[in-house]
A and B are shown apart, each in its own frame.
Chain A
């Protein structure tokens, strides 16, 4: 009896599998299989070639990793979220194709400039005439009031972890709506006066001239919202009274966390956080409907699965980590966009005033051969010696498989006002030895030192950089001891914020295409990295301030050139890599172009599918 039951079970399994195969074939007739491209050459000239077919011809499937955090343009501040948002909202202006220094009008009729009179008051007033007839996804017409509301709501919301800090500096001259204790530092009048409607135009009143302002407005966080829809869905009601309760909502409590009402080329169909997001073409898009009807972004974390989906034609585009690029070269039927220059860089930063409190990274906290004092890196000779110990060529080759370059300054290649002539500290152990001998009046060389350097677990690039520093520094003197520690990401951030890392390795990706976006965090005493390093050069602070307030291109160039050279001279850190990116699509996907401001985010409006 039992045996029979088991036999029935197995027979059922067999039948299901057989039926699956048969049904699968039946379905595949409706959705044609991927094309065998190698047959192309075999076709005779006189024959009419059959039209090549692709799977899901009206749908683009992108297999990637990275969870969308929020669909609210004022909260989204990661690649996955930004990508989703940018396909469903429009901005006043956009980058002109692959350029980061030229703009085209989108919702605005014109791109403001001094020449056309729309940038006034020495760069303190920007006027955007608004196009008529642009429709939101719900059919409502976009008005200047929607534009005004969008920016005011951004300033009012200013949610933790969001990108709105970028509006605060130009518009109100402060870093954000709250101080470190969470108290509001701006008033509703400050906010409403910053953005105003004048007829069919929207006027921005800047606190000071801010040359990269257009670059900030061209990104997804400046997407225009539908005021009425927002109010209906519980967002700020547009009134001055009680605005405070809309400031800094909890994670997920933001009004547009899982809702969308934009004017962009795609509408939201479904978002399953951590799983996938589906979009459908907005046929009423004011620039004309997108060529591809449906877009599905699937989160597939396992590389082999992602690759198999791509090769089977179940994904049209795939995200590939650098280490897998060589194996992708061997695939057929794939279009690879190579050597796409990212505007980012990674650097090694020295801590001038290491926090000794319960800090095992500096051991004895003395220069006795068994530790380092808190101010170990305040001696420029120590910093120079470490910089000379870094073998840049080997690092790029080993850590990046050659798919990166060594930047010479905090301003990455691709940004304006970058001085190519600034030297770098080339790998030179003789010079490193020389500086170690001079450091701390010779005590470093005589006594030796011991310190720990950290990287976050799983980050191979930082691990290799740490290993290179350890090996090369220790090779100079047997009294030099460096321990490498790996810690989780949270711990790593914590150690940096608390200024406990003797040196740390971290990178910065561009927010807007201007050197200010890099020199401020790297060099200003209140900038993100410089603050963790306790690097404080009053002259540098002044230059950073002057650089962002100046609208004179020649003057800005002088300032940034000087800052870049100062970074070399002061050596608060040294750059180790600026990476490139590759985009992998099946050969039936066309139309892609790279814009470094979008970085890895895909704007699906550009793509076409088919032969």
Chain B
């Protein structure tokens, strides 16, 4: 019952959070004049004579609270507005870009989390030994690499120098043509999963080839974070009395590390992993841009710079939802891993 109460409370909190952040966005809108907002519809100065008409059509000159309630009413009717950045309804754009982002996150997140935990444990167990120095060195290098630079270098080497080994984009032309044909059924719009469900291994391989470089780009940079947290958490756990007791009682060191130290050290890593996954799901702007994988991050970054308010509001709603749900899952996982933690 406590557990259910907890979830219901968190969901109610979610509504408050979403209303709060969208209100903030609307208040920030007052910083922009109606003309400025209407000008996002204008691509050419020759269209400027339509500025007044655009302002009236979209009610941009009405008080902010009126605009907010208009927007809320639209949302409740399932209309999230029009994204000028990608020239399509916001909801359509969201449905289109989301699978690309999820697919990248599904490949990148497990790799980052598992490799980060493994390297962090390895580093802590071999503290101050060459393995530790080496992994820490790698972590510093990885964390210091600017994403745009590292991504471009990978692209130049593995696409430019090695003649198209790991190409940018989402699929090759041949694979895309097949995926678009009637022979291929789109279940999830995630090419790897759909390819397996259709039994088309070559499409799966093609999609994975296109995922390799963006996943490596993300992994090399993000692994460092998980690794560093895991290492320090592991070191702290290994210094605890119960570990020393277990070892003194003759338990095998591997068993102690695996069953006692690592499990307890995982708690802060879970928090960060949840945050990392949510971050990946919200889109990774630079990686998506460099590898021309059009996902949520790519779309929302452009929306923000081009004052595409409906798209920005969608981003706020989605990210709010995502982070609240992620925190909820992390809290539940806490309770599972650490029996001392009680929800509610």
Contact = CB atoms under 8 A, between A and B. Distances in A.
A21 B167 CA distance: 11
A56 B173 contact: yes
A117 to B, nearest CB: 35
Given A23-B202, A24-B209, A78-B44, A308 B156 contact: yes
A273 B163 contact: no
A328 B169 CA distance: 22
Contacts of B57: 160, 182, 248, 250
A181 to B, nearest CB: 7
Interface residues of B, number: 70
Contacts of B44: 77-78, 509
B205 A19 contact: yes
B294 A314 contact: no
A19 B87 CA distance: 38
Contact of B292 (A23, A61, A305): A305
Nearest to A159: B50
Contacts of A178: 53
A274 B294 contact: yes
Interface string B71-95: 0000000000010111111000100
Given A269-B180, A312-B163, A508-B45, A248 B172 contact: no
A304 B152 contact: yes
Nearest to B258: A2
A611 interface: no
Interface stretch (A63-71, A92-100, A334-342, A566-574): A63-71
B56 interface: yes
A312 B160 contact: yes
B53 A160 contact: yes
A174 interface: no
A314 B174 CA distance: 11
A347 to B, nearest CB: 12
A59 interface: yes
Given A20-B209, A21-B165, A27-B174, A490 B87 contact: no
Interface residues of A, number: 75
B168 interface: yes
Interface in B173-194: 173-174, 180
Interface in A44-76: 56, 59, 61, 67-70
Interface stretch (A284-292, A491-499, A586-594): A491-499
28 contacts: A1-B258, A2-B262, A3-B118, A6-B114, A9-B110, A9-B111, A17-B212, A23-B206, A24-B205, A160-B53, A161-B47, A161-B50, A178-B53, A182-B56, A273-B93, A274-B86, A274-B294, A296-B173, A298-B292, A300-B292, A305-B168, A308-B155, A308-B159, A312-B164, A312-B167, A490-B35, A490-B307, A493-B39
Minimum-distance CB pairs A-B, first 3 = A274-B86, A160-B50, A490-B39
Interface of A: 1-3, 5-6, 9, 13, 16-17, 19-21, 23-24, 26-27, 30-31, 33, 56, 59, 61, 67-70, 77-78, 160-162, 165, 175-176, 178, 180-182, 248, 250-252, 269-270, 272-275, 278, 296, 298-302, 304-305, 308-309, 311-312, 314, 488-491, 493-494, 497-498, 506, 508-509, 511, 528
Given A2-B121, A17-B212, A308-B160, 9 more contacts: A16-B208, A59-B173, A77-B44, A77-B46, A78-B43, A274-B87, A299-B294, A490-B35, A494-B36
